[in-house]
A and B are shown apart, each in its own frame.
Chain A
Amino acid sequence: MYDAARWNSLVDAARQGDRRAYELIYRELSARLYHYAASLVGDAATAEDITQAAFVKAWESLPRLRSSGAFIVWIHRIVRNLAVDAGRLTAREEPSGLGDGPQWDTEDPRPDGRPDAALLERERALAVRRAVAALPDHQREVVVLHHLGGTPVEDVAQIIGVPAGTVLSRLARARETLRRRIYWLGGDAA
């Protein structure tokens, strides 16, 4: 997903105190980390606090990071630990609500410009987001990290501390759940 050499040089520069490099890292990762935090804790304000705290904490501890290539997994783990500290990771039973609201709408119409097609695509994206938000915690976490965040399965395994096979298994179960819940796929629930 990223140019590894460029990424490592950014992390190395930030490790030596370069704030500009760290801002570039923030620009690249903030959406992924915020989205992950929001999927864990379920509300936007807490997710913002966690994202902010994660970047500050990572800055403080960056000189002790063993390798620049480990940065992405490491900062995701910081986010996860902060969510656990916030006491929200396992307590939430309700859907996160992140599937609702204008922030989840896709603004880009289809390339062919047909309004019905664009509308259909927006509805589909919204339905998928809502279905993801309603997944059980352990399934939602791997879906958000792997599919929406673009994190490789091996990295997801390191972030949540389970074997890669378990991540794949959770992804498969999540896929089944989503298929059942999305009405136009012919599942048994809308």
Chain B
Amino acid sequence: MNCDDIQPLLADLAVGALPEPRQGPVREHLARCESCRMAFGQLCLLGSWLDEIPPTGPARDLWPSIAAALRPRKRTLGQRISGYLGLSPGWAWAGVACACAVLAWGGLRGGDIPRAPELPAVVVAEADEDADLLSRWSAQASLSGGPVGRYAAAAALSVLPESAAEEGLE
């Protein structure tokens, strides 16, 4: 290969664009041709000069204008979860998905979830009687123009000791 063949390839070699198989003949030529070697050196030197030039920023600080134009961001549910957990949004959603999967699996299996212990029969019966008593007091208070609903129940409870004695309870 002569200089005319080599010269167009020098810049490709300098920037790393020349494929490996084509580099051999060019390097062989460079080893024996001072003119091409000088040209190649200049091309490489230009690369380092270009790398040394820092980018030039704007003449004024643009941040105040940019900051004034930024709207507060409404955080999404995922961002709130991730912020609360201190995780990236992807991990937070993965965690939520795992929790849902575990709950769904537990719901389907049912029996594996430990249940609350059964109450003794006496306690259940007393509870039923209390509920019956409260409902009757509630109805009575309603008829007499007194408080109804939750308030009637509270009123019933406030007089429960006397009436309970009449009903044969404690």
Interface residues of A (CB under 8 A from B): 12, 15-17, 19, 22-23, 26-27, 30-32, 34-36, 38, 44, 47-48, 51-52, 55-56, 59-60, 63, 98, 103-104, 124-125, 128-129, 132, 143-144, 147-150, 165, 168-169, 171-173, 175-176, 178-179, 182, 185-186
How far apart are the CA atoms of A176 and B54 in the complex, in Å?
Answer: 21
- B79 x A16 contact (CB < 8 A): yes
- A31 x B55 contact (CB < 8 A): yes
- B4-20: CB near A (< 8 Å → 1, else 0) gives 00000001101111000
How far apart are the CA atoms of A62 and B34 in the complex, in Å?
Answer: 54
Say how far B130's CB is from chain A's closest CB, in angstroms.
52
Interface: B42 (CB within 8 A) = yes
How far apart are the CA atoms of A57 and B83 in the complex, in Å?
Answer: 23
Partner of A185, one of B42, B51, B56, B60: B42
Chain B interface residue count, CB cutoff 8 Å, equals 41
* Interface majority SS (helix, strand, loop, mixed), chain B: helix
Chain A contacts of B42 at CB under 8 A? 179, 185-186
Q: Which of B35-94 contact A (CB under 8 A)?
A: 38-39, 42-43, 45-47, 49-60, 62-63, 65-67, 69-73, 75-76, 79, 82-83, 88
- B70 x A30 contact (CB < 8 A): no
Chain A contacts of B49 at CB under 8 A? 124-125, 128
- B70 x A175 contact (CB < 8 A): no
Chain A contacts of B51 at CB under 8 A? 147, 150
- B43 x A22 contact (CB < 8 A): no
Chain A contacts of B63 at CB under 8 A? 23, 26-27, 30
Interface residues of B (CB under 8 A from A): 11-12, 14-17, 38-39, 42-43, 45-47, 49-60, 62-63, 65-67, 69-73, 75-76, 79, 82-83, 88
How far apart are the CA atoms of A17 and B52 in the complex, in Å?
Answer: 35
- B62 x A16 contact (CB < 8 A): no
Chain B contacts of A12 at CB under 8 A? 88
A-B contact pairs, 19 of them (CB 8 A): A16-B73, A22-B70, A30-B62, A30-B63, A31-B54, A31-B56, A31-B58, A34-B62, A35-B56, A48-B58, A52-B65, A56-B70, A59-B70, A125-B53, A128-B50, A168-B12, A175-B15, A179-B42, A179-B46
